[in-house]
């Protein structure tokens, strides 16, 4: 079974592309969602986060106190690295278990916004970059997430690799720029990946 990473800048349309692949029977592991889920549900990870960031990291009901943790790591690269050093291995273990459950498929997708930035693409067989220009990605994100401001979205974009860097690192590119059919692109890539 091939493990294929899929990434793209905020607002590029990764989730949409993954839905098209899922219609073809290809399962998708949403790494960013699973990371959030594990922080509230994996007892070992919760213990490590509590040890490093204090009891305030969780509410009494066991849910992650995202506001508190965000404030702790925001602007502090060392604390952010520490948090990532706890979360990324937990996601890696979870992903491996998930892969075993889907080992009957010709390939699977691992969807992650920071696939290249974290280096996790090195454990995969190939990568897909979903590409759309920055202006279009900004417009989509503001429409999708009305609570965000233009400035906050641009700040997220600054933390992600540039479009050029992602294009350089990716094995495949799907253009989600409203100029060509994403369904046709996914179908063509699917044919290649099932071989």
* CATH number for the domain that contains residue 162: 3.40.50.300
**Six token digits for residue 152:** 């906050």
Closest CA to 73 of 86, 59, 83: 83
In a domain, 10, yes or no: yes
**Contact assessment for residue 50 and residue 57, using Cβ atoms and an 8 Å cutoff:** yes
Instruction: Evaluate if pTM is beyond 0.85.
Output: yes
pLDDT digits (tens), the chain, 195 positions:
999 999 999 999 999 999 999 999 999 999 999 999 999 999 999 999 999 999 999 999 999 999 999 899 987 889 999 999 999 999 999 999 999 999 999 999 999 999 999 889 999 999 999 999 999 999 999 999 999 999 999 988 988 999 999 999 999 999 999 999 999 999 999 999 998
Q: Where are the beta strands (DSSP E) in 24-103?
A: 28-30
Query: Which residues are CB-neighbours of 4 under 8 A, at least 6 positions away?
Result: 107, 108, 109, 110, 124, 125, 126, 127, 128, 193
The angle formed by the CA atoms of residues 93, 95 and 100, to the nearest 5 degrees, is 100
Domain that holds residue 135: 1-27+104-195
**Domain co-membership, 92 together with 48:** yes
**Domain co-membership, 133 together with 85:** no
Q: How many domains does the chain have?
A: 2
């Amino acid at each position: 079974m091939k493990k294929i990473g899929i990434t793209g800048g905020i607002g590029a349309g990764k989730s949409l592309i993954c839905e098209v692949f899922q219609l073809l029977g290809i399962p998708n592991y949403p790494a960013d969602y699973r990371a959030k889920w594990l922080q509230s549900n994996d007892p070992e990870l919760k213990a490590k986060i509590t040890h490093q960031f204090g009891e305030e990291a969780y509410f009494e009901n066991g849910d992650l106190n995202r506001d508190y943790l965000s404030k702790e790591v925001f602007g502090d690269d060392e604390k952010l690295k520490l948090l990532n050093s706890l979360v990324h291995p937990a996601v890696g273990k979870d992903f491996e278990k998930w892969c075993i459950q889907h080992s009957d498929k010709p390939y699977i997708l691992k969807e992650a916004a920071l696939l290249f930035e974290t280096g996790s693409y090195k454990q995969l067989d190939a990568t897909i970059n979903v590409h759309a220009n920055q202006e279009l990605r900004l417009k989509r994100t503001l429409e999708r997430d009305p609570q965000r401001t233009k400035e906050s979205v641009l700040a997220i974009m600054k933390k992600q690799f540039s479009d050029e860097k992602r294009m350089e690192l990716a094995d495949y590119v799907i253009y989600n720029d409203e100029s060509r059919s994403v369904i046709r692109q996914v179908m063509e890539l699917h044919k290649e990946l099932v071989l």
